[in-house]
Structure 1
Amino acid sequence: MYTFEDMQKMDRVRLGNMVPLELFRTIRLIGMNQGLPMGGKGTTLTVGRKIGESLPVSSVEDLLALFEELKIGIPRIVYSDEHRLNIAVEDCFCKGLPTLEEEKMICDLEGAILEGALSKLLGRRVSVREIKCNATGHEYCEYEVKL
C-alpha cells in the first residue's frame, strides 16, 4: 500500500516532479469522464475521498494550503456557519477549457478530495457538492460542504 508520503519521493533526474496539465486533463476528462460509465463519477468520488483521507493535514488551513501547494487550485472559504462551509477554488485545473453548454460540473475529484480530508479532520462524515464550475462559465469552482 502506498501512502501520500511515498508519492512525495521522486527520483526522476531528467524530467523532474511535474507532468503537464494537459496530461492530467486528458486522463480526467477524456479517459475517465468520457470513458467510464456515468462520466466516471463513482470512480472519481471513491478515488478522491481516498486521496483526501491520506493527506498529511491537521487543520482546515493546512488542507487549503496543501491544495495550493499541490497546484490543485487556490482555495478560500467564502461562507461558513455551524452547518455549512463553502470553499471557492480559483485557478482550478478546468480554468481555460471551452465552456460547456450544459450545467455539467466536472471537478468532482477535487470535491471528493476535500470531502475525504475534511471527514478525517472532523472525525465524522461530511458531504461535499460542487455548485459552481469554471467549465460552465462561473468565475471559479465552488464547493458546498455540509458539516
Structure 2
Amino acid sequence: METRSVALIVLLSVAAVLMIISTGSPLPIDGVPDFSADVNTVKSVPSAIGEGGALLLLTGGLLVLLIMLPITLLKSIHTEAQHEPVKNGGASNGSNGSNGSGKYDLGYKVGASVSSQNIDDIVDSLEQLQDTEVSITNTTGKLKRIHVKKCKTCRNPVCDFERGFFAGAFGQFYDNVSVKETKCRATGAGYCEFEVKG
C-alpha cells in the first residue's frame, strides 16, 4: 500500500510541475482560489536566480527524486515482505528454491536487480537496503561465508529474504548458486551466517 502511495504522489507532483511549466498556470478548479498572482511570483524566480539557475534547481529536484525513489520503493517492498506469513512452518529446504513464503523469491528478485561490478557492491546494497552490517569472512574459490549483523528482519530462524537476496546477487557472478543459512541470531548466534556456493 505504501509503495502505491509514494508512486502516486510522485506522479501527481511531476504532472503538476510539468503543467505549470508548460502553461504558466495551474488548471482552474471550482471552489479553489485562483493563484494567478502567485504564478507571477514563480515567473520572477528565474529573473532572480537566472534561467540557468532555475533549470539547475528543477533538474536537481528531479535527480533527487530519481535517486531516492528506488531506495524508498525497495525498502517499502522489503517491509511488506516481512509482514507476509511464513508457510511450511518456516522450514527452509536449503536448496536454490523457495520455501513457499515469498520472501525468498522477493529477495532473489531484489538481489538480481542490483547492478554489481564486484562482490563489495552486493554487500553495500544489502547494507543500504536494511541498515545492517554485512561482511564476507571466508572466501575459498566459489565458496563464500557471509555474516549479517544488526539485521532488523532476522527475528525468525530462517532468513529467507536475505538468503534469496544473496542467491540473486551472486547469480550475476556464478552459475547454479545455492545459499544456505548456517547460523542465525534468532537461535542465539551473534550474527546470521550464510554459505554461498557457486
Same structural fold, with TM-score higher than 0.5 when normalized by the shorter chain: yes
> Where does residue 130 of structure 2 map in the other structure?
71
Are the aligned partners of 2:81 and 2:106 in contact in 1 as well (CA < 8 Å)? no
Alignment TM-score, normalising by the size of structure 2: 0.52
- TM-aligned CA distance change 1:110 to 1:72, over 3 Å: farther
Pick one of 28, 31, 46 that aligns with 2:84: 31
Identify the range of structure 1 (70-79 vs 125-134) with the bigger mean alpha-carbon deviation. 70-79
Pair 1:7–1:115, CA change in 2 (3 A): farther
| Contact 2:108–2:166, Cα closer than 8 Å, also in 1 | yes
Question: Could you report, residue by residue, the CA deviation over 1:33-61 in whole angstroms, capped at 9, with x for unpaired residues?
Answer: 2xx44548322222221111111222101
> What's the Cα RMSD here?
3.1
- CA contact under 8 A between 2:157 and 2:187: conserved in structure 1? yes
Q: 1:84 & 1:139 partners in 2: Cα distance?
A: 21
**Relative contact order, higher structure (CA 8 A, sep 6+):** 1
Give the paired residue count. Answer: 122
Matched, 1:115 2:173: no
Show structure 2 runs of 5+ residues with no match.
1-64, 91-97
Please identify runs of 4+ aligned residues in structure 1 that moved more than 6 A. Answer: none
When residues 139 and 72 of structure 1 are mapped into structure 2, their CA distance, relative to the original with a 3 A threshold, is same
Q: Pairwise mapping of residues 29-108 of structure 1 onto structure 2 (< 5 A)? A: 31-33=84-86, 36-39=87-90, 41-42=99-100, 43-71=102-130, 73-94=132-153, 97=155, 105-108=157-160
Q: SS where residue 131 of structure 1 aligns?
A: strand
Aligned residue type for 1:116: G
Q: Which amino acid aligns with 2:187?
A: T
Q: Distance in 2 between matches of 1:83 and 1:59?
A: 14
Structure richer in helix, relative to its length: 2
More strand by share: 1
Q: CA deviation at 1:83?
A: 3.8
